[in-house]
Structure 1
């Protein structure tokens, strides 16, 4: 590793660990050169590299400070070559983020939220996208604490999203709640997906047997919407954005938390994902799909178990 890269790694490591907080002023070029036993030009090259990476900001030649979200940018800089393996739930908005990250994120094929959590627990994935409501009324965190106990479970908050009934234009059957699905042909997500869990819960709460519901199983929200649009089924449960894509009507039922569950050891690999979620254009692209609130996207929460 060249000397300026060693200096970049040292400074980025201190910023990523919190030793140098957001807004903290770095020593001047001459002082840094003396500390690292190198030339001012080498320090200047390191400073320019970290500034280009968004780790620090240089207001003028004399003052260099840790950038807002500099810790996130520092971890992204240090672990740019690592690939984050993401399993779990299907979501159209997640495709926006996956395209942005390119080779930095590799989807791992699993069946829904439960399959994603299992993949993380077994070490086949670094994180799982989930939207599971616990009986305590809390989303995702209780499942992460239980299944990843002893592995320093964390959540990366993605967004809140609307789920509801996907129905033909004009809602010809006048559907307003899950209870109205009884006796109809309904597209259902497969067992193990968070959306199937949600549908079953809504039906049980309405006094209906989920197993009595007729209709095909689908592999994604888009497949559910296509089933409705083609007339194969009368309705389906899915996110608002796919209704918009296929000019379907949408009957909102719930607003749910959609997060990534991961272990503490996977935080470094997740740094590019966290950084992307903070980018205004990524948030804007997610929100533009309809039915998403990305205001807390990228917030990392340690669950303390």
Structure 2
């Protein structure tokens, strides 16, 4: 991020993991300062950092105190729902949920595995995840069963996405699949531990018997799909793993390799919240918005994938 001093609206949307319409709305409300350069609107990097800092403050709990999630509230306190996950579908869910419960949910942008651990610790109510398990060929279920052991839960599909490899325009290195990542002429940019993309990469390397130390750039870390795609498009890396929707925003080409199940988990003790979210995910309005995004399929949205 230090290489640029300002961003386009599309780049801001990618960094915040929201739609461009949401960014325009934030600008219109005066929450993010912007200015025009010719026909293009720009947002200064410092202004974006300031906005993110302001939005982060309400989510911080006092030291030694857990955040007041919907299952840790004392009698008489106002319910606050905390949604953890990095995909734009969770921003859409947050907007729909705000209308339903008359309260603005708090958003956290932790990776899948870290979000699941936060739920176990009672720090969030809704967790989105896309964690691939090569041993079973399943998404999410093995991880949730292990980490939320003893906690009755429900796993619901939010959307189906295409996951794969970002490459430079025209794919000059002729990268075709996972095995190409061990080539000595290929350098990748990776995601942080606990992210779904990192888990997917590690699982695929394990299946092929490729050691992480044999992959150039394995320890070069960024924290979102957009940053991976952007670094690849700028030639700072030859490849990176992520979801299809960020390829266009990051100006990279995309090689789809797996249909990714993007689910959310809610504990059954929050039954009212569970019912409300299931209704939202099954609604025509939610599906209509998501189906307009590149690489999203709503054929399973709202379907219960697994429950204890």
Which TM-score band (shorter chain)?
Answer: 0.5 to 0.7
Question: Structure 2: any 5+ residue segments left out of the alignment?
Answer: 1-77
* 1:117 matched residue in structure 2: 116
Between 201-210 and 190-199, report the one with greater CA deviation: 201-210
Alignment of 1:1-305 (within 5 A): 82-88=79-85, 90-102=86-98, 103-110=103-110, 112-134=111-133, 135-182=135-182, 183=184, 184-215=186-217, 216-300=220-304, 303-304=307-308
TM-score (normalised: structure 1): 0.67
Judging changes above 3 Å, is the alpha-carbon distance between structure 1 residues 245 and 206 closer, same or farther for their aligned structure 2 residues? same
Q: Is the 8 A contact 1:161 1:292 kept in 2?
A: yes
Q: What SS is found at the alignment partner of 2:150?
A: coil
Q: Is the 8 A contact 1:82 1:269 kept in 2?
A: no
Q: State how far apart, in whole Å, the 2-side matches of 1:91 and 1:166 are.
A: 17
Judging changes above 3 Å, is the alpha-carbon distance between structure 1 residues 194 and 176 closer, same or farther for their aligned structure 2 residues? same
Q: What SS is found at the alignment partner of 1:174?
A: coil
Between 176-185 and 275-284, report the one with greater CA deviation: 275-284
Judging changes above 3 Å, is the alpha-carbon distance between structure 1 residues 168 and 157 closer, same or farther for their aligned structure 2 residues? same
Q: Is the 8 A contact 2:230 2:252 kept in 1?
A: no
Between 178-187 and 136-145, report the one with greater CA deviation: 136-145
* 1:17 matched residue in structure 2: none
Judging changes above 3 Å, is the alpha-carbon distance between structure 1 residues 230 and 93 closer, same or farther for their aligned structure 2 residues? farther
Q: What SS is found at the alignment partner of 1:181?
A: helix
Q: Is the 8 A contact 2:130 2:196 kept in 1?
A: yes
Q: What SS is found at the alignment partner of 2:171?
A: coil
Q: Is the 8 A contact 1:144 1:154 kept in 2?
A: no
Judging changes above 3 Å, is the alpha-carbon distance between structure 1 residues 99 and 232 closer, same or farther for their aligned structure 2 residues? farther
Q: Is the 8 A contact 1:145 1:303 kept in 2?
A: no
Q: State how far apart, in whole Å, the 1-side matches of 2:258 and 2:305 are.
A: 23
- TM-superposed CA distance for 1:113, in Å, is 1.5
Higher helix proportion: 1
* 1:29 matched residue in structure 2: none
Q: Is the 8 A contact 1:93 1:289 kept in 2?
A: no
| Rg larger in structure | 1
Q: What SS is found at the alignment partner of 1:125?
A: coil
Question: Structure 1: any 5+ residue segments left out of the alignment?
Answer: 1-80
Q: State how far apart, in whole Å, the 2-side matches of 1:191 and 1:120 are.
A: 17
TM-score (normalised: structure 2): 0.66
- 1:7-44 deviation digits (Å, cap 9, x = unpaired): xxxxxxxxxxxxxxxxxxxxxxxxxxxxxxxxxxxxxx
- TM-superposed CA distance for 1:270, in Å, is 4.0
- TM-superposed CA distance for 1:271, in Å, is 4.1
- 1:83-111 deviation digits (Å, cap 9, x = unpaired): 321224x223333333444454322343x
